[in-house]
Amino acid sequence: MIDIELFRKNPEIFEAEIKKRNMKIDVLADINLDKRRRKLISAVDGLRAKKNENTKNIPKLSGEEKNKAIAEMKKINEELEKLEVELAKVNEKFMARMATYPNISHESTPAGKDENDNVPIFFWGNKPEFDFTPKNHQEIGRNLDILDDDRGAKVSGARFVYLKNEAVFLEFALVQYVLNILYLKGFIPLIPPILVKERAMFGTGFFPAERTQYYKTELDDLYLVGTAEVPLCSYHADEILDVNDLPLKYCGFSTCFRREAGSYGKDMGGMFRVHQFDKIEMFIFSHPENSWRDYEFLRTTLEEIFRGLKIHYRILNMCTADIGSPNAKKYDLEAWLPGQNAYRELASCSNDTDFQSRRLNIKYKDENGKKGLVHTMNSTACAIGRTLIAIYENYQDKEGNVKVPEVLLPYMNGIEYISRK
């Protein structure tokens, strides 16, 4: 949610932002709606003040005078009710309009029309060289009997998979490896609920913009989260954090569910784009003054995880067309996938500044008792499915076997090589 006071006083900031993001919003119409709304608020408040005054006087009156006062009150009530109904309507409309406004992007976020305008800014490692044609993860996974997407489809439908045999150990090895790194950096580990109320989806900015992307339970008004970001951020909803605890760092392991509406035919087969996957997510509540410093820390932490796995990647500074509406800035980490001969997104890292904290009412209080909205930021630490893909494709050999990355060996029960059974 944007700052309404800022919107009112500097609408040009939002005009510019909307243009930068290629969005179409009639800012002037919303400014006028706000004017109308405030006029109504004044009128309603005035009538209520009159009413409150009469309420105080009535007990002191008696007889004819009292009856007169009561009659007047009835008249005020009629007038008030009309105005209140109108105000409620206007207010609701205005708030719904405000909910469609995006966050103000950071000055370093490039303006762009599509994914071609994302700017690669860091590279690490080199493309591995093969003296054979590298296979894609689906082929590798099926051959080694560590990925079963056919039966996933049979049981649950397209875009569902079974991880099998060594893949299961790899998942838990990745979890161990990543959690250990994060724990040493002061992240508090959480395993959050993944079925959440609508408020959590709205508060984190996934609603109303991406409503169709998420599963809703039929009997209860609960939603399956698409990322642990939702319960991690909502964890401190309606709380005032001690400034000395900032930056407050959490990491959460969760299964993630995405409907992938609108991506028909894209990345079919295997487990690149699936409805269900597990992920470790990092989340930081930060003091606004340190927000951009903490955000870079998040990015370097993410990079450290992938450097340990020795997977070649690049970091993109995402342009305004590709960042989410709550994001002020977003980096994507794209790993090199030899089987696809392409860089593909494995992780993303966003600073949402005060957009989520305003919706979820998350504040800090400093030594002087001053309160302010915290900044929130999140990053993938490890999306298991896609990281497995990167491991399969980068660590494959001529025979189609897969070597286990060194950093995972301590957690693999002696498995060093995944080969055909």
Partner RNA sequence: GGAGAGAUGGCUGAGCGGUUGAAAGCGCCCGACUCGAAAUCGGGUAGGCGGCCAUAAGCUGCCUCGAGGGUUCGAACCCCUCUCUCUCCGCCA
Q: What residues are labeled active site?
A: 258, 273, 345, 348, 386
Residue found by looking up tokens 């896609």 in the block: 386
Residues 287, 374 contacting (CB under 8 angstroms): yes
Least spacing, CB of residue 49 vs RNA, in Å: 4
Site membership for RNA, residue 73 (CB under 7 A)? yes
Least spacing, CB of residue 415 vs RNA, in Å: 27
Among 71-79, 130-138, 184-192, 246-254, the segment contacting RNA (CB under 7 A)? 71-79
Residues 226, 269 contacting (CB under 8 angstroms): no
* Sites for RNA among residues 364-403 (CB under 7 A): 371
Strand partners, 190: 252
- 322-359 CB burial, b ≥16 within 10 A, e <16: bbbbbbbbbbbbbbbbbbeeebbbbbbbbbbbbbbbbb
Contacts made by residues 168-172, CB under 8 angstroms, sequence distance 24+: 169/411, 169/412, 169/413, 169/415, 170/146, 170/388, 170/391, 170/404, 170/408, 170/412, 171/278, 171/384, 171/388, 172/411
Looking only at the bridges linking them, the beta strands covering 188-190 and 248-257 are parallel
Q: Which of 12, 24, 52, 107 binds RNA (CB under 7 A)?
A: 52
Among 43-51, 137-145, 256-264, 278-286, the segment contacting RNA (CB under 7 A)? 43-51
Cis omega (within 30 of 0) for bond into 193: no
Query: Cα–chain-centroid distance for residue 107?
Result: 21
Between 69 and 415, whose beta carbon lies closer to RNA? 69
Between 46 and 410, whose beta carbon lies closer to RNA? 46
Site membership for RNA, residue 244 (CB under 7 A)? no
- Residue count of the chain, please give it: 421
Least spacing, CB of residue 87 vs RNA, in Å: 10
Least spacing, CB of residue 341 vs RNA, in Å: 44
* Sites for RNA among residues 75-114 (CB under 7 A): 77
Terminal alpha carbon distance of the chain: 54
Distance separating alpha carbons of residues 133 and 136, to the nearest angstrom: 10
Q: Hey, which bits of 287-328 come out as E strands?
A: 313-317
Coil/strand/helix, residue 372: strand
Site membership for RNA, residue 74 (CB under 7 A)? yes
Total residues at interface with RNA (CB under 7 A): 26
Site membership for RNA, residue 59 (CB under 7 A)? yes
Least spacing, CB of residue 365 vs RNA, in Å: 9
Q: Which of 22, 32, 55, 255 binds RNA (CB under 7 A)?
A: 55
Between 70 and 168, whose beta carbon lies closer to RNA? 70
Q: Which of 23, 44, 237, 243 binds RNA (CB under 7 A)?
A: 44
Between 48 and 307, whose beta carbon lies closer to RNA? 48
Q: Which of 28, 46, 92, 96 binds RNA (CB under 7 A)?
A: 46
Residues that bind RNA (CB under 7 A): 4-6, 9-10, 38, 41-42, 44-46, 48-49, 51-56, 58-59, 70, 73-74, 77, 371
